[in-house]
Amino acid sequence: MRYFDSSYFTYKNNQLFCEDVAVEQIIKQVGTPTYIYSKKFFIDRYTEFTNAFKEIKHSIFYAIKSNFNLNLIKIFSNLGSGLDVNSEGELYRALKVGIHPQKIFLSGVGKTKREIELGIENNILLIKTESEEELILIDKIAREKNKIAPVHLRINPNVDPKTHPYISTGLAEEKFGIPEEEAIEHFRLAAKLENVRPVGVGMHIGSQITTIAPYKEAIEKMLELFLKIKSAGIKLNHFNIGGGIGVVYNDEKPFTLQEFANKVIPIFKKFECEIMFEPGRFLTANGGIIATEVLYTKQNKKKNFIIVDASMAEIIRPSIYDAYHHIQHLVKIENETIIADIVGPVCESGDFIAKDREIIKCNSGEFLAIMSAGSYCMVMSSNYNGRRRAPEIMVDKDKFYITRSRESFQHLLFDEQIIEELFQ
Ligand code: LLP
């Protein structure tokens, strides 16, 4: 049986630890299912990123959509990171942490009028725009507020990132960005409008990208465009390559950041401007796990099932992207391995965490760790089947902190009320 290779989640005396805290100790206090994060992982990943690009002028804007825990946002911002926010809700979180608005930019293919207003009112660094209508709306809102809004134009470079279709965003058929062939026209318009100022150009071609080639192809296309924009007399301060860098969940062999830097830095230098990155998954995925309890095991004629107390409500990635997450015991035990489906309690056949997975035989009452759960797990969680969202724990060396408790039943009701008039 293979254990996930991590220096942040390791076994000591056959017990799974996060840094210097036994995971079992955490769940004794908070129960399961529970998200558990390693602070050191996040710091090391950010440091690795910024070191790889230290020879060029660059900035990192952590994409908080991958994990918007307030403490995590603060960890990255204390290291100097800016934030990429995608909605009013994410902006609210960022401002709550006390991030300087000039360290925030606003992304998204469908920003509402209110979101644009908030971005401008709060004086954030810039707003990314993805269509002519949106550009004109930003200009109008900025005029009403007597301001000039710095904008980036997100271009769709029409490159195949070779990832899952649901997380591929840089092909011409997708909803994202401005088609590359219309980019110059859009920049001319942006330069003409009085209340926006184009300050940069960007792309984001997809997520969980494990080869350098699609990036290189897209960056080279963007360089050509960047130089054309420059010769049209429009001076840009930044080129934003987006996020998307892939990580190991199973047996992927993603490029290392150093390999990436070696290949792309020579191209970046030709832009002669600040290079921006907006990584999410790279910084967070392998910094978290979900601890879960085995509720029951059963077999039918076709399959073995391990029914755990985590579900698609806490981790929807296997259900919607067929994503692989490694699953292993919290206490290493010697037992035969079986092939089983590891499933949750939600009443959907799509509620599975793994299918036909080789795993050490489990018994009810044992605990498992679902690995690589630091990105796109908590943030995509739901209350389906009346489930309360799981707590989030941050481990720092030999201490752990409950950064968010398990939701209460009051959370499930929020301000929902029985309206007597409906029953008269
Ligand atoms: N920038 C933009 C404009 C994005 O749309 C995204 C992610 C990122 C940055 C960060 O990408 P990352 O470095 O994390 O790949 N829920 C999916 C992933 C969706 C990604 C959405 N956009 C999953 O669980 O795999």
Query: Which pLDDT tens digits describe the chain residue by residue (424 residues)?
Result: 789 999 999 999 999 999 999 999 999 999 999 999 999 999 999 999 999 999 999 999 999 999 999 999 999 999 999 999 999 999 999 999 999 999 999 999 999 999 999 999 999 999 999 999 999 999 999 999 999 999 999 999 999 998 888 888 888 888 999 999 999 999 999 999 999 999 999 999 999 999 999 999 999 999 999 999 999 999 999 999 999 999 999 999 999 999 999 999 999 999 999 999 999 999 999 999 999 999 999 999 999 999 999 999 999 999 999 999 999 999 999 899 999 999 999 999 999 999 999 999 999 999 999 999 999 999 999 999 999 999 999 999 999 999 999 999 999 999 999 999 999 9
- pTM to 2 decimal places: 0.97
Q: Which CATH architecture has domain 9-38+285-412?
A: Beta Barrel (2.40)
Q: Where are the domains of the chain?
A: 9-38+285-412, 107-279
Q: CA angle 21-25-29, nearest 5°? A: 130
Between the CA of 374 and the centroid of ligand 1 the distance, in Å, is: 13
Instruction: Tell me, yes or no, if 347 is annotated catalytic.
Output: yes
> Which of 156, 255, 177, 155 lies closest to 209, judged by CA?
255
Atom number in ligand 1 closest to CA 206 = 15
Question: What distance in angstroms lies between residue 144's CA and the mean position of ligand 1's atoms?
Answer: 33
Task: Report CA(303)–ligand 1 centroid distance (Å).
Answer: 34
Which atom, in ligand 1's list, is nearest to the CA of 243?
Answer: 13
User: Is residue 342 within 8 Å of 352, Cβ to Cβ?
Assistant: yes
Ligand 1 centroid distance, CA of 193 (Å): 31
- Verify whether ligand 1 is closer than 6 Å to residue 58 (CB atom): no
What CA dihedral angle connects 327, 332, 336 and 342, to 10 degrees?
-20
For 133-145, write each residue's pLDDT tens digit.
999 999 999 999 9
Whether 124 is in the pocket of ligand 1, judged by its Cβ within 6 Å, is no
Q: Is 317 in the pocket of ligand 1 (CB under 6 A)?
A: yes
CATH number for domain 107-279, candidates 3.90.180.10, 1.10.3480.10, 3.10.105.10, 3.20.20.10: 3.20.20.10
